[in-house]
Amino acid sequence: MPHNDYRAIDFRPALAAGWRVFYMDDAGKVTSLPVVGWLVMEQAPISADGRDAHSDVPVENRDRLVVAGVHRDGWASHVVPANWHAEPWLVRGPDLPDPDRSQIRAEKERREEAALTKPLEDDEE
C-alpha cells in the first residue's frame, strides 16, 4: 500500500551567506551546519518497494514544503534536507548570533522536562 513521502523537486541556493542549522544531541552538545540553500519538497506517494506510486492527486494540489538544505556528510555536491543528519533544533539567519549558553541550557532543560512527561509507549501494540 502506498504511503506519502516528500521528494525534492527544486533547489534554490541561499543567496546570503551565513544561514546555518543547529543540532543538539542527547547530551546537550550543539553542532551546526551551513545552509547551502532551500529544497522545495513535494508530497509524493511512495509504494512499499520505494518507487513512486501512481497518484490521483494533481500536481498542483500536492503539499509542498520549503526546507533548509545542507551538504550530506562526505558528499559535498549532494544537498539533503537539514533533518537528514538529525532533528534540527534551530535555524539562524546571517544577521542572527549563534545560540548563547542560556539558550542552550533552556533548550536542554525543555527537552529533559519533555522526556519526563512523555507517556510510556504500550508494548502490546
pLDDT at 125 over 60: no
Q: Which residues are CB-contacts of 22 (< 8 A; sequence separation ≥ 6)?
A: 30, 31, 32, 88, 89, 90, 91, 92, 98, 99
pLDDT at 57 over 80: no
| C-alpha to C-alpha distance for 20 and 31, rounded to whole angstroms | 10
Say what the pLDDT of residue 2 is. 47
The tens digit of pLDDT for each residue in 71-83 reads 877 666 789 999 9
